[in-house]
Amino acid sequence: MQLVDACEKVERPHDAQAGLEAAHKAQPKNEAVRARLKQIFEETENYPALARLLISEADVITDEGTRFVTLRQAGELLLDEDPEAAVAALKRALKLRPADQAVNLLLVEAFAAAGEFDEANAILDAAIEAMKGRRSPDLCAMQYRKAMIAGAQENYEQELHWLKEAHNTDRNNGDVAVALATLAEQLEDYDLAIRVLRSIALMEAAPMSRAVAYLRQGYIAERRGDRQKAVLWGRKALMEDPNCTEATEFLRQIGEL
């Protein structure tokens, strides 16, 4: 550790890392070495290496709760970089707590990122079946992920179906509502898109502003050839947010400014 300290003092973190990795390989149970390695990986944002360290750490942790948390963290860190490794870590975590919903959802994400859609859907289907139709934010989250998987497979009919299901389950979920409105517009189901956009405009907090929800209805009206409604919604958007440049540009394009 003295050599590591010396390397860090002269700003040679790579040499310090190499020394720590060698020390960790020789003494995997040395908590001080693991802690310093974690610090270096976090500072350098080397998340795959941090995840691998956490996985090896889990092998020597005796407390089941701590081991579960460690494996879950490793799985989260690997989701983007190495989804197959994330699957392995999250499966180990689930063996410790099979009913943990958060880890089940992470495993769904990992399977989907790895292109293993059948496995992801199997987890979701079992979870949805277990809820027996009881409406809750958790059920909405499962249905939303079903929609995302369908979209990743370019099955837009199923994506629309599951977005509708999720929206009906929790009408206060802004992310679901925005996704449903967007897909409905893309599929030219304008009546559905308008209904959902109006519900978004009534939400206290949503990922889409009220002005944009109004403006999107203006776009739809313009596509349908209803200039009067296009002007109405464009002006309403601008009144809601005078700094909305998209609304200003839209009204200019249709000859109202």
Tens digits of per-residue pLDDT, 23-45? Answer: 556 556 666 667 787 778 777 88
pTM of the model: 0.81
**Helix/strand/coil for 209:** coil
Answer whether residue 99 shows pLDDT above 90. Answer: no
Residue 234 · residue 247 · CB < 8 Å: yes
* Per-residue b or e along 159-170, where b marks 16 or more CB atoms closer than 10 Å to that residue's CB: bbebbbbbbebb
Compute the distance between CA of residue 33 and CA of residue 1 in angstroms, rounded to an integer. 8
Residues 126-158 pLDDT 10s:
999 988 878 999 999 999 999 999 999 999 999
Residues 53-69 pLDDT 10s:
899 889 888 899 999 99
Compute the distance between CA of residue 189 and CA of residue 187 in angstroms, rounded to an integer. 6
Instruction: Note the pLDDT of residue 205.
Output: 87
Answer whether residue 6 shows pLDDT above 50. Answer: no
